[in-house]
Amino acid sequence: RAAKHEDSDIRGKGLDYALIARDFAMLKWLGANCFRTSHYPYAEEIMDQADQQGFVVIDESPGVGITKVFNYGPVSLAHHKDVMTEMVQRDKNRPSVMIWSVANE
């Protein structure tokens, strides 16, 4: 299993098809067959590649810092439920998604 990030030290964060192709080639070269979408759901283009190339994905919601005291409360809980619902609705029929991660790691 690998933990990926959607950014590059050279190009920064954003949708970059060449970087997506390189990352999947590197994962295959390493013998990995699964990755976690570190800290938030990934772009649909990355998820499409995972589906097409047979990778297993742990789909993670953006719950970084959710365990901090000031993040507890009804507003934060409602927001997190909305984000989880959106993620599950978007990815529920993807063959690559095996698990949803409720919060960071």
Instruction: Give the Cβ contact number of residue 2 at 10 Å.
Output: 14
* Whether the predicted model's global pTM rises above the 0.85 cut: no
Judge whether 83 and 59 are in contact, CB under 8 Å: no
Count of Cβ atoms closer than 10 Å to residue 76 Cβ: 15
Which entry of 44, 45, 86, 105 is annotated as an active-site residue? 105
86 is catalytic: no
pLDDT in tens, 38-77: 777 888 999 999 999 999 999 988 776 666 666 677 887 7
Neighbouring-strand partners of residue 99: 58
- DSSP bridge pairs for 8: 12
Instruction: Give per-residue pLDDT as tens, 8-43.
Output: 666 666 778 888 898 899 999 999 999 988 777 888
Closest CA to 5 of 53, 42, 51: 42
